[in-house]
């Protein structure tokens, strides 16, 4: 059979999009908090105030005329990332890792002229990549030097860790590995591999590519199971704090591991994707229920992290 | 869990269905459209210049015939005295006035109703043969024509056809010339044929009628009828083609060889007949009933609007039906279309172009637009100007396709202009982004999904019973609204989830 019966999904505790929208994101995420999450610059400001580290912001382009100052922002930098402030799904993000004469080298090796880069920034400002086509801002930030654990299982890009946080309790996590197809970005929609993570230990479980399970990285061929995510407990407590800070009941937290700076917060998502369940081979619903039942006794961040490490361990 | 949507949905569907049932059960609105229109207004308008003296206008007016009844006649003729002369099925209105000057205008109006098949009385006048009235050289010529027609035929039917052909031979024809003037009208020829057939004792006649379909100026249909084997057989008096019996769609206005209108004391006579098909019988009865028992309901219904506005609403009311379908496809099935209501608007365009042409035109427009869009990419234009350039080229393509297909005689291609061009432009831009961001496979998926959704919407929206129901019973849209509310709170699995999350359900077992 190519499909499962609804009853089987229900027994598996699968959270699907209708239910996520109707019972979680719409109910638990207050409308007025959305701008904090949808705008990456606002998120940066919010979390920096409370001491969470983020990739350094090099510069900001808010209006077309400022695009001329791009050279000034970039100076002699070789490693940087250009992003739309209100983008999603990796859209409009360019990751650079070098220069060649007047041109910039993308992480996939292609060169981009300064002129082309400026045009891309103008497209971002025009709202080409933003939610609903609204005019947007572009910003330049530091390129993360990712931790060498994932060296062998990342193709020309930075892997990130996605943690679903429900009522400020981390409930499920995955590592996302860029592939040739995902073009240096770790977004599943673009073709990155998602790898489930054991909440208790931070060790990777199995992976998914699209909707199908995989055990090796499609480009490097390395096994993706059994890798240890460094600073695991710290990542969980960072995620839990983001839940507190935003007041969002159902949140996706994107973290990266910098070789030197340690865990950095990349962005927050008010409507995180659901494929994380496939990566973990487990449904979200039972975990969400468990948190809902016991949330009132979990006051401190440490309590919540311990709770999720104990309860959501892989079997 | 908040249940108010349930109560609202219940109330809405109760209201909608209640009104619907009231209209069907109490007022008798038909639930399915009667397949044929069965009431027509027929109007003949006569104009002429009066000479200043006494005027007498004789007009042949339609009478009852096999399946049609004429009733509610009215004659608009200020200052004229009117008498109606009836002889069997022949009816004439005779207007007369002592003296009249200048432009005169007279109207005849009647309502024609189709009788249900079971009420059909036997209604056919006895065939009669008029005296042929030939003598001398004329008689010889007439007999010669008859002989020639007979020699070329095997039975009555082919003989009549031969006779029509002989009479219509291009002039000069030595056989026909002695009997027919060079500029003889159809009526003159028909009269001649009637007289020739009278030599054999075969009853024949000419009838004039109009097609019962909406028209401002009906074209007169002439039928030459010959009584054979107990029935009147119809022939086209020019081509000799055999026609089926007086069709139901044809109202005979008069018979015989006289013109429709003759005017004594006037000149420049013009007569034109207009036909307007109207609501079906049952519907008309229901509206009449509604007017008396519930005047507000009818007064504030779509039927109170001018006919042209009604036609606009016939289309507009279909949009919610298409939108509802999209809701189902997206929220219950889980198909990702590009743009939420884009498929509905495309489906509306398909209604005009018809589906196969619609798909061809849509795909070619999108492909052309994408080509332009990719070329524009090199120019590095800003977003909004770029969209405008694509919009301009989309319109350019529309014009080009219309002109080209028009020259090729492909009528449907011309209707490309009905595609919503702004939507088309946004679709092109979106496809282009999807292409760049997610690759050709995803673009193809979105394109096919959108087209499939548009096709589904088209099939539902162009299905006649649907259009009829939402127009006659717009309250059904309230029921659709209720269902949309329910789907809006549906938190179960979509069909696509069943495929997507299959792996998890397996592991669990
Ligand atoms: N500063 C950075 N350095 C390196 N890679 C980055 C950086 N920012 C983003 N990326 C890459 O782009 C992907 C998407 O970035 P993210 O900020 O999560 O935006 P989005 O909202 O589009 O998902 C990340 O998973 C990562 O692979
Ligand atoms: Mg992200």
Let me know whether B353 and B443 are in one domain.
Answer: yes
Which pLDDT score is estimated for A86?
92
Let me know whether B206 and B264 are in one domain.
Answer: no
**A9, B497: Cβ pair inside 8 Å?**
yes
**Closest to B433 (Cβ–Cβ): which among A10, A126, A128?**
A128
pLDDT in tens, B356-391: 888 988 899 899 999 998 888 778 777 788 889 988
Which pLDDT score is estimated for B432?
84
CA of A268 to the centre of ligand 2 (A): 7
ipTM of predicted complex: 0.82
Let me know whether B244 and B107 are in one domain.
Answer: no
Let me know whether B337 and B397 are in one domain.
Answer: yes
Regarding the beta carbon of A143 and ligand 1, being less than 6 Å apart is answered yes
Let me know whether B233 and B325 are in one domain.
Answer: no
- Which atom of ligand 1 is nearest the CA belonging to A187? 25
Regarding the beta carbon of A39 and ligand 1, being less than 6 Å apart is answered no
Q: Is residue A257 within 8 Å of residue A161, measured between CB atoms?
A: yes
Let me know whether B269 and B344 are in one domain.
Answer: no
For tokens 């004594």, what's the residue? Answer: B264
Is A9 touching B (CB cutoff 8 A)? Answer: yes
Regarding the beta carbon of A268 and ligand 1, being less than 6 Å apart is answered no
Q: Is residue B197 within 8 Å of residue B128, measured between CB atoms?
A: no
Overall average pLDDT of the A150-157 stretch: 88
Chain A residues near residue B493 by CB distance under 8 angstroms: 6, 9-10, 14, 16, 18
Does residue B304 belong to any structural domain of this protein? no
- Which atom of ligand 1 is nearest the CA belonging to A141? 1
CA-to-CA distance for B379 and A246, rounded, in angstroms? 42
Structural domain for B270, as ranges:
39-119+260-277
Does residue B284 belong to any structural domain of this protein? no
Residue B380 or residue B321, greater confidence: B321
Which pLDDT score is estimated for A264?
95
* Max Cα distance, chain A (Å): 60
Tokens matching residue B119 = 């009420």
Lowest average pLDDT, out of B279-283, B400-404, B434-438, goes to B279-283
The Cβ-side half-sphere exposure at A169, using a 13 Å CA radius, reads: 26
Interfacial A residues in 126-145 facing B (CB < 8 Å)? 126-128
Nearest-CA distance from B366 to chain A in Å?
A: 19
Does residue B466 belong to any structural domain of this protein? yes
Let me know whether B355 and B449 are in one domain.
Answer: yes
Judge whether residue A255 has pLDDT over 80.
yes
Which pLDDT score is estimated for B129?
76
Does residue B266 belong to any structural domain of this protein? yes
The residue among B248, B210, B212 whose CA lies nearest residue B40 is: B212
Residue B267 or residue A133, greater confidence: B267
Let me know whether B105 and B163 are in one domain.
Answer: no
Which pLDDT score is estimated for B279?
61
Judge whether residue B337 has pLDDT over 90.
no
Let me know whether B265 and B223 are in one domain.
Answer: no
Q: Is residue B81 within 8 Å of residue B99, measured between CB atoms?
A: no
For chain A, where are the E strands, in sequence order?
A: 57-61, 79-84, 94-100, 103-106, 111-112, 138-142, 160-166, 169-177, 193-197, 204-209, 212-214, 250-258, 262-269
Which pLDDT score is estimated for B509?
45
Overall average pLDDT of the A285-305 stretch: 92
How many CB atoms within 10 Å of residue B59? 23
Judge whether residue A28 has pLDDT over 60.
yes
Determine the distance from the C-alpha atom of residue A266 to the mean position of all C-alpha atoms in its chain, rounded to a whole number: 6
Q: Is residue B433 within 8 Å of residue A84, measured between CB atoms?
A: no
Regarding the beta carbon of A170 and ligand 1, being less than 6 Å apart is answered no
What average pLDDT does chain B have?
82
Is A206 touching B (CB cutoff 8 A)? Answer: no
Does residue B25 belong to any structural domain of this protein? no
Q: Is the peptide bond before A58 cis (omega within 30 degrees of 0)?
A: no
Which structural domains are found in chain A, ordered by start? 6-53+146-311 (3.30.470.20), 57-142 (3.30.1490)
**Predicted TM-score of the model (pTM):** 0.69
List CB contacts of B219: < 8 A, sequence separation 6 or more. Answer: B210, B211
Which pLDDT score is estimated for B374?
86
For residue A41, the ligand closest to its alpha carbon is: 1
> pLDDT confidence of B35, banded at 50, 70, 90?
low
For residue A192, the ligand closest to its alpha carbon is: 1
Judge whether residue A52 has pLDDT over 60.
yes
Nearest-CA distance from A186 to chain B in Å?
A: 13
Residue from A37, A159, A185 to probe ligand 1 pocket by mutation (most atoms less than 8 Å from CB): A185
CA-nearest residue, atom 2 of ligand 1: A143
Q: Is residue A258 within 8 Å of residue A150, measured between CB atoms?
A: no
First-to-final CA distance of chain A: 27
Regarding the beta carbon of A194 and ligand 1, being less than 6 Å apart is answered no
Nearest-CA distance from B446 to chain A in Å?
A: 14
Does residue B290 belong to any structural domain of this protein? no
Let me know whether B213 and B272 are in one domain.
Answer: no
Regarding the beta carbon of A144 and ligand 1, being less than 6 Å apart is answered yes
Overall average pLDDT of the B74-95 stretch: 84
Beta bridge pairs of residue B75 = B108
> pLDDT confidence of A141, banded at 50, 70, 90?
very high
Overall average pLDDT of the A229-245 stretch: 94
Residue A269 or residue B107, greater confidence: A269
Beta bridge pairs of residue B413 = none
Closest chain B residue by Cα to residue A89: B437
Which pLDDT score is estimated for B123?
47
Regarding the beta carbon of A174 and ligand 1, being less than 6 Å apart is answered no
Does residue B287 belong to any structural domain of this protein? no
Chain B residues near residue A116 by CB distance under 8 angstroms: 380
- Helix orientation angle between B421-461 and B318-327, rounded to the nearest 10 degrees: 90
Chain B residues near residue A190 by CB distance under 8 angstroms: 437-438
Nearest-CA distance from A212 to chain B in Å?
A: 8
Overall average pLDDT of the A153-162 stretch: 90
For residue A182, the ligand closest to its alpha carbon is: 1
Let me know whether B350 and B389 are in one domain.
Answer: yes
Nearest-CA distance from A230 to chain B in Å?
A: 27
Which pLDDT score is estimated for B493?
93
Which pLDDT score is estimated for B113?
79
What average pLDDT does chain A have?
90
> pLDDT confidence of B276, banded at 50, 70, 90?
confident
Overall average pLDDT of the A232-248 stretch: 94
Judge whether residue B299 has pLDDT over 80.
no
Overall average pLDDT of the B5-32 stretch: 89
Let me know whether B332 and B462 are in one domain.
Answer: yes
CA-nearest residue, atom 22 of ligand 1: A90
For tokens 């009941």, what's the residue? Answer: A249
Overall average pLDDT of the A285-300 stretch: 92
Regarding the beta carbon of A44 and ligand 1, being less than 6 Å apart is answered no
CA-nearest residue, atom 10 of ligand 1: A185
Long-range CB contacts for residues B19-23, cutoff 8 Å, separation at least 24: B19/B473, B19/B475, B20/B473, B20/B475, B20/B476, B20/B479, B23/B286, B23/B290, B23/B472, B23/B473, B23/B475
Which pLDDT score is estimated for A312?
93
CA-nearest residue, atom 3 of ligand 1: A143
**A12, B507: Cβ pair inside 8 Å?**
yes
Judge whether residue A166 has pLDDT over 90.
yes
Torsion angle defined by CA atoms of residues A150, A251, A173 and A81, in that order, rounded to the nearest 10 degrees: -10
CA of A134 to the centre of ligand 2 (A): 19
How many CB atoms within 10 Å of residue A88? 18
Residue A39 or residue A1, greater confidence: A39
Chain B residues near residue A282 by CB distance under 8 angstroms: 504, 507
Number of structural domains (chain B) is: 3
Does residue B305 belong to any structural domain of this protein? no
Overall average pLDDT of the B173-202 stretch: 80
Lowest average pLDDT, out of A25-34, A219-228, B60-69, goes to B60-69
Report H helices in chain A.
Answer: 6-11, 17-19, 26-28, 34-38, 40-49, 70-74, 114-126, 232-246, 276-280, 285-294, 301-311
Chain A residues near residue B489 by CB distance under 8 angstroms: 22
Q: Is residue B106 within 8 Å of residue B49, measured between CB atoms?
A: no
Q: What is the CATH number of the domain that holds B223?
A: 3.10.620.30
CA-to-CA distance for B144 and B142, rounded, in angstroms? 5
């Amino acid at each position: 059979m190519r499909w499962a019966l609804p009853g089987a999904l229900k027994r598996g505790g699968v959270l699907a999009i209708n239910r996520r929208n109707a019972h979680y994101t719409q109910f638990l995420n207050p409308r007025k908090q959305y701008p904090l999450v949808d705008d990456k610059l606002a998120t940066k400001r919010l979390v920096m105030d409370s001491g969470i580290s983020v990739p350094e912001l090099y510069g900001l382009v808010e209006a077309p005329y400022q695009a001329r100052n791009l050279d000034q922002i970039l100076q002699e930098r070789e490693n940087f990332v250009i992003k739309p402030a209100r983008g999603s799904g990796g859209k409009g993000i360019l990751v650079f890792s070098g220069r060649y004469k007047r041109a910039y080298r993308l992480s996939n090796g292609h060169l981009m002229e300064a002129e082309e880069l400026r045009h891309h920034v103008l497209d971002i400002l025009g709202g080409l990549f933003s939610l609903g086509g609204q005019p947007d801002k572009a910003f330049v930030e530091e390129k993360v030097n990712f931790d060498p654990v994932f060296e062998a299982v990342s193709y020309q890009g930075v892997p990130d860790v996605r943690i679903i946080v429900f009522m400020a309790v981390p409930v499920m996590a995955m590592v996302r590995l860029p592939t040739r197809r995902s073009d240096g970005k770790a977004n599943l929609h673009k073709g990155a591999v998602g790898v489930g993570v054991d909440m208790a230990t931070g060790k990777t479980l199995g992976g998914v590519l699209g909707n199908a399970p995989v055990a090796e990285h499609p480009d490097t061929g390395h096994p993706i199971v059994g890798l240890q995510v460094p600073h695991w407990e710290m990542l969980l407590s960072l995620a839990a704090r983001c839940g507190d800070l935003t007041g969002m009941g159902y949140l996706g937290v994107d973290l990266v591991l910098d070789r030197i700076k340690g865990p950095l917060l990349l962005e927050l998502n008010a409507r995180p994707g659901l494929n994380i369940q496939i990566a973990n081979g487990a449904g979200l619903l039972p975990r969400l229920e468990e948190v809902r039942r016991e949330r009132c006794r979990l006051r401190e961040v440490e309590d919540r992290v311990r709770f999720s490490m104990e309860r959501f361990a892989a079997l | 869990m908040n249940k108010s949507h349930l109560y609202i949905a219940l109330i809405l569907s109760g209201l909608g269905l209640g009104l619907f049932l009231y209209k069907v059960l109490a007022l008798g609105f038909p639930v399915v459209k009667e397949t044929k229109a069965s009431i027509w207004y027929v109007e003949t308008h006569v104009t002429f210049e009066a000479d200043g003296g006494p005027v007498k206008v004789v007009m042949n007016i339609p009478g009852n015939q096999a399946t049609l009844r004429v009733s509610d006649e009215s004659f608009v003729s200020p200052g004229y005295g009117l008498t109606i002369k009836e002889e069997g099925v022949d009816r004439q209105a005779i207007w007369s006035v002592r003296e009249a000057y200048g432009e005169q205008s007279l109207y005849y109006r009647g309502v024609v109703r189709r009788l249900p098949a079971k009420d059909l009385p036997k209604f056919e006048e006895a065939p009669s043969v008029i005296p042929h009235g030939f003598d001398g050289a004329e008689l010889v010529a007439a007999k010669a024509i008859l002989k020639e027609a007979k020699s070329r035929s095997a039975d009555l039917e082919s003989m009549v056809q031969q006779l029509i052909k002989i009479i219509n031979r291009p002039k000069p024809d030595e056989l026909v010339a002695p009997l027919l003037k060079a500029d003889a009208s159809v009526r003159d020829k028909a009269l001649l044929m009637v007289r020739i057939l009278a030599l054999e004792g075969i009853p024949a006649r000419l009838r004039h009628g109009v097609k019962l379909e909406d028209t401002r100026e009906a074209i007169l249909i002439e039928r030459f009828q010959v009584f054979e084997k107990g029935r009147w057989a119809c022939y086209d008096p020019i081509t000799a083609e055999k026609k089926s019996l007086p069709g139901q769609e044809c109202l005979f206005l008069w018979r015989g060889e006289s013109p429709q209108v003759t005017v004594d004391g006037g000149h420049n006579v013009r007569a034109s007949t207009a036909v307007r098909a109207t609501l079906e019988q049952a519907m008309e009865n229901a509206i009449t009933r509604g007017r008396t028992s519930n005047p507000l309901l009818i007064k504030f219904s779509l039927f109170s609007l001018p006919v042209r506005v009604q036609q606009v609403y016939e289309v507009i009311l279909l949009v919610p039906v298409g939108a509802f379908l999209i809701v189902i496809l997206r929220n219950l099935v889980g198909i990702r279309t590009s743009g939420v209501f884009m498929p509905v608007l495309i489906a509306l365009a398909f209604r005009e172009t018809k589906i196969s042409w619609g798909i061809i035109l849509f795909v070619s427009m999108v492909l052309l637009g994408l080509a332009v869009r990719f070329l524009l990419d090199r120019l590095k234009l800003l977003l909004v100007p770029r969209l405008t350039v694509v919009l301009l080229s989309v319109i350019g393509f529309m014009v080009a396709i219309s002109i080209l297909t028009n020259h090729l005689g492909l009528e449907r291609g011309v209707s490309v202009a009905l595609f919503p061009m702004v939507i088309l432009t946004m679709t092109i831009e979106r496809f282009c982004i999807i292409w760049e961001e997610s690759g050709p496979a995803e673009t193809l998926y979105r394109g096919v999904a959108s087209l499939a959704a548009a096709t589904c919407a088209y099939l539902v929206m162009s299905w006649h019973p649907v259009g009829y129901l939402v127009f006659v019973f717009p309250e059904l849209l309230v029921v659709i609204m209720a269902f949309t509310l329910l789907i809006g709170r549906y938190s179960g699995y979509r069909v696509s989830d069943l495929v997507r999350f299959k792996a998890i359900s397996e592991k669990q077992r």
